[in-house]
Amino acid sequence: MKLCVLYICLLANPDSTQTKLLSFSKQDTVRSIKEVIIRSNSLDRTTRYTLNKKEINQLPAFFGEFDLMKAIQNLPGVSSTQEGSTDLQVRGGSKDQNRILLDGMPIYSNSHVFGLLSTINPLIVENVELFSGAFPSQYGGKLSSFINIQSSNSYTDSIEKTQGAFELGITSGKFNLLFPTSKNNLSVQIAGRRSFQDLFTQFQTRKTTEKIYFYDLNGILEFRPDSFNHFKLSTYFTQDRILFETGIPNKESNGLGKHQSGGSILWKRNQLKHQFDLRISLVRYGNTISESKEFNEPSKSYRNEFETNLTHLDVLWKNNLKINDLINLQFGTQFQRYIFNPIRFTGFQFNQTFDDSPISKNHQNDAAVFASSIVKWNRNHLDFGFRFSSLFNRDKAQEYFLEPRISFAHSIEKYNLNLNVAYSKMSQPIHEVSDPGLGIPLELQIPFSKNLKPQEAHILSLGLEKSFSLNSQTRVDLKAESFWKESKNLILFKDGYDSRSLIINFPDGVYLPQTTEDAFISGGYGQSKGLEFQLKAFNEKWSYILNYTLSNSDNKFSEIDQGLSFPAFQHRKHIFNNSVNYNLSNKWSFSANFSYLSGAPIHLPESYYSIGSGNNAMSNMNTVYVYGKRNSFKMRDYHRLDVNVSRHVHLKNKSLHFNLGVYNVYNRKNSNFYYMFIDNEKNLKVKSISMFPLMPSFSVKLDF
């Protein structure tokens, strides 16, 4: 009888980050055994968190969807901007300070339907890395985080017939198909998702109908001509559209929309001591607001459409050179070109079409070189390098940034403990501004200029991690990290200005700037500091994850509150996420997630005066609010509990998964936004709008 033992082994040396495949055989004995998994700590960056497909699917579903962004929001130091949103705030940074990459392609539109769901189809996700500090030198252009999403690798195993999955939920249906590998090592993967709601509204007979739809579509082509070369073409298309239509007395349509399309080509070459990646990606992203009305008399009919869009070309060449067993060099260059069309007005009025760009197109180039050296000796890991960026735009504004990146890790074997310290300097040439006041915010991408300088940040982190076993089955990983982040050149809308001020043809605007820059105050400072803690405990049957962040985030502008610090909009003192997954059997599993966030700062008036009636122009005054310090009030705290039960049916070569979940089990009315007004009886009303009460969901997934 032959004993053959085949397993994947991470080397016991904690300094190693490589995975090696070892196989042993022994003559005369053959016996099958259960799967054996061996893990060890990797001495690497602490401020790097990973999620794999299994972990994403273990969280309770939202509307029946296992959502990637909501899974990322559960990681330490990460929160959403508001209830239900997929936007991310990382370590007290604003949501525009994060770069999301899908196979290297920047994703600008990361949410469907006001943040209900993320735009990444979870069926295609293989794994996700989040860097919130200790940034590798290849990453630049954002201050707070890089989220690297890798699509499924079709070459894990050679496949002989089509594989994939179909999933049907209450809001949308999705699929992922992987077509067989040909002799030439070519494979194709297609995935898609579409919502249903607009298909049903065609049968409605109400006076006013809402049509809400979204879709996303991914196409991936992989080609491996030999063992050295790997080519991958990824494409991505997504669109959101919300329309309100009425046919009485005249057909009228008002809508919001956004869209993104893109593609990336990657060439990976892997030789003995030298690997390189060459990637080219092109992405186009746009937001639209539209209104139209049809009259019997055609000359009175009109349509107005406002659009803002951005095109982003990215060329990256990255090399990894192994000098010897102790030293690796990484170096490369990156060129990015951004083309902004900040405001474009099209449509027709009085039988005449128009196409107007009152703020002309702008472009911006970002050329960077980067290099780092990774040195390992004894139980130490040192990664030091830099990124040098040069920025140019059409208005001849130029900026240069030298960004050092250093991280050091040391393993204390006696206590099975890793210590890490890291420093990064980052720069960000594009500002994304959101409306600062009450209501649903719109966002705009604003390129840097001579007066709106690129944002910069220094980030320092200090952390430790420890792993140990509770028993032979259960492992516990602990991570704790403190961070300090200081940023400058932040921008905010001036008082009185909001996104409407930049819609030049907006006729009812009181504050209309002469140029885009006139709508902003710039040169602001931000400071964030905090402590993150993560506990992961898992064995074969269950897993438990606890993430907690205690932090403070302030801003400071010379024009606001006489230059004193005030709470930043993204400040959340406590962020707490708690999730458990339990496999009752190979047929049943259960998961639950509890989240808690301190309420967001909000700017509300403190006092008022009313003049009342009069016999002169003063009677045209209303109640006047008087505001105190910026963001001195806090919205209600946010918390909710979600649960999910899954039934798995395993058939020959197929498996069915039925998921029944409840979002917000105790029906907490978490605030999405506030607004205020005075009613007819002179009572002040402050209202909270919540959008996601207790919601059951159901989905079915077929894997084949």
- Region near other proteins per CB under 8 A, out of 330-338, 526-534, 540-548, 673-681: 673-681
- Region near other proteins per CB under 8 A, out of 133-141, 379-387, 415-423, 496-504: 496-504
Single out the residue of 572, 531, 547 nearest to residue 83, CA to CA: 572
- Region near other proteins per CB under 8 A, out of 33-41, 149-157, 185-193, 210-218: 210-218
Choice from 296, 615, 652, 653 touching other proteins (CB under 8 A):
615
What sign for the dihedral angle of Cα 617, 620, 625, 627?
negative
The contact mask relative to other proteins for 631-670 (x = CB under 8 A, - = no) is -----x--------------------------------x-
Query: Scanning residues 270 to 299, which ones bind other proteins (CB under 8 A)?
Result: 289, 291, 295
Which of 325/606 has CB closer to other proteins? 606
3-state SS assignment for residue 415:
helix
Q: Is 617 in the site for other proteins (CB under 8 A)?
A: yes
Query: Scanning residues 511 to 530, which ones bind other proteins (CB under 8 A)?
Result: 511-512, 514
Local structure of residue 30 (DSSP, 8 states) = -
3-state SS assignment for residue 215:
strand
Quick one: 343 exposed, middle or buried, by C-beta within 10 A (0-12, 13-18, 19+)?
Answer: buried
Residue by residue, DSSP assigns 41-81 as ---S-SSEEEEEHHHHHHSPPBTTB--HHHHHTTSTTEEES
What sign for the dihedral angle of Cα 177, 179, 180, 181?
negative
Choice from 623, 647, 649, 654 touching other proteins (CB under 8 A):
623
Single out the residue of 440, 569, 465, 393 nearest to residue 134, CA to CA: 465
Question: Is 523:556 a contact under the CB 8 Å cutoff?
Answer: no
What element of type H or E holds 31? none
- Region near other proteins per CB under 8 A, out of 9-17, 99-107, 207-215, 522-530: 207-215
Half-sphere exposure of 606 (CA within 13 A, CB side): 7
What span, in angstroms and rounded, lies between the C-alpha atoms of 362 and 444?
Answer: 14
- Region near other proteins per CB under 8 A, out of 18-26, 27-35, 434-442, 443-451: 434-442
Choice from 24, 200, 203, 666 touching other proteins (CB under 8 A):
200
CA angle 114, 336, 289 (to 5 degrees): 30
Q: Is 500 in the site for other proteins (CB under 8 A)?
A: yes
Which of 24/677 has CB closer to other proteins? 677
Based on its alpha-carbon atoms, the radius of gyration of the chain, rounded to whole angstroms, reads 27
- Region near other proteins per CB under 8 A, out of 130-138, 197-205, 414-422, 468-476: 197-205
Query: Scanning residues 572 to 611, which ones bind other proteins (CB under 8 A)?
Result: 603-611
The footprint of other proteins on this chain (CB under 8 A) covers a number of residues equal to 95
Query: Scanning residues 351 to 380, which ones bind other proteins (CB under 8 A)?
Result: none
What span, in angstroms and rounded, lies between the C-alpha atoms of 139 and 683?
Answer: 53
What phi and psi values does residue 70 have, to the nearest 5 degrees? -70, -30
Q: Is 438 in the site for other proteins (CB under 8 A)?
A: yes
3-state SS assignment for residue 25:
strand
Which of 158/515 has CB closer to other proteins? 515
What span, in angstroms and rounded, lies between the C-alpha atoms of 21 and 16?
Answer: 14
Q: Is 18 in the site for other proteins (CB under 8 A)?
A: no
Which of 391/492 has CB closer to other proteins? 492
Choice from 630, 640, 657, 701 touching other proteins (CB under 8 A):
630
Q: Is 52 in the site for other proteins (CB under 8 A)?
A: no
Query: Scanning residues 147 to 186, which ones bind other proteins (CB under 8 A)?
Result: 170-171
Query: Scanning residues 232 to 251, which ones bind other proteins (CB under 8 A)?
Result: 244
Q: Is 432 in the site for other proteins (CB under 8 A)?
A: no
Choice from 50, 162, 271, 349 touching other proteins (CB under 8 A):
349
